[in-house]
Amino acid sequence: MAMMRLRREDPRVVGSFRLHRRLGAGGMGVVYLGSDRRGQRVALKVIRPDLAEDREFRSRFAREVSAARRIRGGCTARLVAADLEADRPWFATQYVPGPSLHDKVNEEGPLPAAQVASIGSALAEGLLAVHEAGVVHRDLKPSNILLSPKGPRIIDFGIAWATGASTLTHVGTAVGSPGFLAPEQVRGAAVTPATDVFALGATLAYACTADSPFGHGSSEVMLYRVVHEEPQLLGVPDALAPLLHACLAKDPEDRPSTLQLSLRLKEIAAREAHGHGPGAGGYGGAPGRPPGRRPEAHADQDTERRPGGTPTPRSGPSSPRSGAGTGGGSGRPAGRNTPARPAQRRGPRPPVRTDRPDRPDRPARPAHPVRTAPNGRRPSGPDHRLLRQRLTVFVVVTLLVALGIAAAQGCQGPANGLGGAPGPKGSVSSSAAPPSVAAVPDSRQAPDSQ
């Protein structure tokens, strides 16, 4: 908002506020930038001297200030203080930094549909709070909307009227911009919340086209167009044109309510932002990574690294080996639409590494070499056929020795009773030589010869 220096005729102090700059002038008076003792800045409006002398105006102004105190909304400038009994009545509202919607469009041109819908949705919510307090703004226009860092704010409730009041009841009180007045205001009918809906529709059309929907001209021409001609919405985006046309209906009953307007503008703002925003199509996914890809931090959980650094798939359901499952031997998770690779014959497995920097959570396994046969297969162990042959020879030799000992003991007794010299009792003659194994059959035939 442009600020100007104070003029000679301007007051320096009003109430408990010190005035610093001029913010503008309107049909009711002059608006100043002021501050209180705590440093809080306010926008203070002082009523014109000719209106201050009108008792009827003072009474209506008192009713409007009382109604404005009841407004509670984030999109309105809060009423801070007022003095209705001063020589020149005044009221102070919260100062809102930022350019007006009129200045922004005048400097930068028409706004995009998403931004217009977002601003309109916030303004509709602010008007809903105003109407719930029983107040109609009556003069909503681009210059009365400030674009603060925290969102749009509605200002200048100085000419607001209570619901049901008429507009042209007294000469000098018909204030407002002709291109944004509703038809019922021009006719002098009662104002309703639908009056502000008409003004909001004209304001949003201006934000889309940088022009009034009823063109330019004198006040009489503009007022005639408002009452009898249709608005010109050329240049309004297709997403907003039907809704703004409904807001500018001649009959207040044909206009949407403030709540309906707020909800509809929210939907349009969300759709336009989703379709044309910088992150279109990427909502809900992690930035910088296409959907469906596994994070790199988990890519090596199902693989083992060979000594050369090449990862090989580990056995398990999540990473099947060659020829198993639908993932083939590529180490991809099962369920991917990839052709299965033919099974390949594996060579000898390399020794297991004990230094596993990629998997510090697993204990190191001892390294041991794996012996392989020349044909690439592991050896099957000792020759079982040779073991059986050796065992058979050992058993046969043992049996032969046992039989020889038994035969020698059997032949020794008959030799002593057939003519051998008797020796001492319990002794065997030293001259008698033990028979050989071949003499055993002859000794067994001796009784037959006798």
User: Looking at residue 178, what DSSP letter applies?
Assistant: G
b/e per residue 161-194 (b: at least 16 CB within 10 A)? beeeeebeeeeebeebbbbbbbbbbbeeebbbbb
What amino acid occupies position 96? V
Active site residue 139: yes
At residue 19, φ and ψ (nearest 5 deg) are -90, 140
Q: Which of 387, 383, 384, 405 is nearest to 395 (CA)?
A: 387
What is the 3 state secondary structure string of 131-174? HHCCEECCCCCHHHEEEECCEEEECCCCCCEECCCCCCCCCCCC
Both structure tokens of 222: 């503009």
The encoded tokens of residue 105 equal 């469009």
Give the Cβ contact number of residue 343 at 10 Å.
Answer: 12
Q: Is there a contact between 177 and 141 (Cβ–Cβ < 8 Å)?
A: yes
The residue type found at 402 is A
Catalytic residue among 139, 156, 196, 302: 139
Q: Are 239 and 116 in contact (CB under 8 A)?
A: no
Which position has the token pair 């002709």?
A: 178
Task: Find tokens 């350019």 and name the residue.
Answer: 99
> What number of other Cβ atoms are within 10 A of residue 78's Cβ?
15
Q: Tokens 């009898």 sit at which residue?
A: 228
Q: For the chain, what is the largest distance between any 2 Cα atoms, rounded to a whole number of angstroms? A: 180
Active site residues: 139
